[in-house]
Amino acid sequence: MRLLVTGGAGFIGSAFVRMALRGVDDVQLCNLDALTYAGNLENLHPVAAGTRYRFERADIADAAAVDRVFASFQPDAVVHFAAESHVDRSILSPEPVVRTNLNGTFTLLEAARRYKTQRFVHVSTDEVYGSIDEPHEADEGYPLKASSPYSASKAGSDLLALSYYATYKMNVSVTRASNNYGPYQFPEKLIPLMIANALEGKSLPVYGDGMQIRDWLYVEDHCRAIRAVLEKGRAGEVYNIGGSRALPNIEVVKRILAATGRPESLIRYVTDRPGHDRRYALTSEKIGRETGWKPEVEFEEGLEETVRWYRDNADWIANVRSGAYREFYEKNYAGR
């Protein structure tokens, strides 16, 4: 199979590329990535030298560049991860979010239509369902109610992807996963930010009262789910992918402090995020029933592994925390 992965230099995309190339499968893989602040070729170091892998630096919203990649690689299938993926950044500057997540997805769908690509998996998020009151859980038919420019752009791109099935009968499936964590995650999201700050003895900024609930999914469980949908998912269908544990943020933060041996006095409650969704909750019954997938990594085990990885990879953290990272950190946290 000739597999085109977009965003393969990011957190989840690189885990997927490493997994796909580790297998015995006869996969030729092309990674199309613009290498934004979140893209890092170091994440692919373990597999990049292989003959089954190639890298194309391109912007998914650049139709001519995308066309060139499709023309030369002729993919059988696309797994589309590339996105501006951070809610706080989408609040501070929504323009790149709309451009990449909406225009970029459109550009890829058009290329896949032109080149008659046989399969297209669009990777999305449970955030498109918005905040969900106890005791409810979103299934795939739950109404979309996005709160941030990020989640709105993902909801829009989901609908666009599904319209290519309804209109052009393209073989498109959409996945909606809960919050991921694991090695190689950019230290802007909750878990890697808190681990990195704790390891350095810096304060841990908790938004609002810290009682917002997220359902944590280990990144390798997510990648196995995407592979299951790629192979067994049905055209025109959405698949939720939930984690093994729903926890309030403050509980996650306290566990990180315990795992890093730091005191709870490092916790700093700061001004809440605007439009902050209180609770995400979803059911993954459908993907389990149709593909046999279920999450395998318990949160305790995944968190321990993640803390160990960040402890052992201080250079990786130092490299990604460049001047641009410090600027963002200052902008996002200074006024809180």
Residues that bind ligand NAD (CB under 6 A): 7, 9-13, 33-36, 38-39, 59-61, 81-85, 100, 104, 123, 125, 154, 177, 179-180, 186
Going edge to edge, which strands form the sheet with 245-248?
Answer: 180-181, 213-218, 245-248
Which among 91, 111, 62, 212 has a CA at the least distance from the CA of 152? 91
Catalytic residue among 59, 127, 137, 215: 127
Q: Residue 115 catalytic?
A: no
Which H or E run includes 77?
Answer: strand 77-80
249 binds, among ligand NAD, ligand TYD, none (CB under 5 to 8 A by kind): ligand TYD
End-to-end, the C-alpha distance of the chain in Å comes to 49
Instruction: Tell me whether residue 40 or residue 117 sits nearer to ligand TYD (CB atom).
Output: 40
Which among 332, 124, 131, 129 has a CA at the least distance from the CA of 212? 131
Instruction: Tell me whether residue 205 or residue 243 sits nearer to ligand TYD (CB atom).
Output: 205
Token digits for 141? 């038919």
Q: Residue 126 catalytic?
A: yes
In angstroms, what CA-CA distances link 154 with 174, 189, 193, 212, 278?
A: 11, 17, 23, 21, 18
| 87 part of the interface to ligand TYD, by CB under 6 A | yes
Per DSSP, what are the bridge partners of residue 3? 29, 77
Instruction: Tell me whether residue 132 or residue 177 sits nearer to ligand NAD (CB atom).
Output: 177
Instruction: Tell me whether residue 177 or residue 198 sits nearer to ligand NAD (CB atom).
Output: 177
Least separation, in Å, of the C-beta of 189 and ligand TYD?
3
Catalytic residue among 53, 142, 150, 165: 150
What positions carry a catalytic annotation?
A: 126-127, 150
Interface with ligand TYD by CB under 6 A: which residues? Answer: 87, 127, 179, 189-190, 193, 205-207, 212, 214, 249, 273
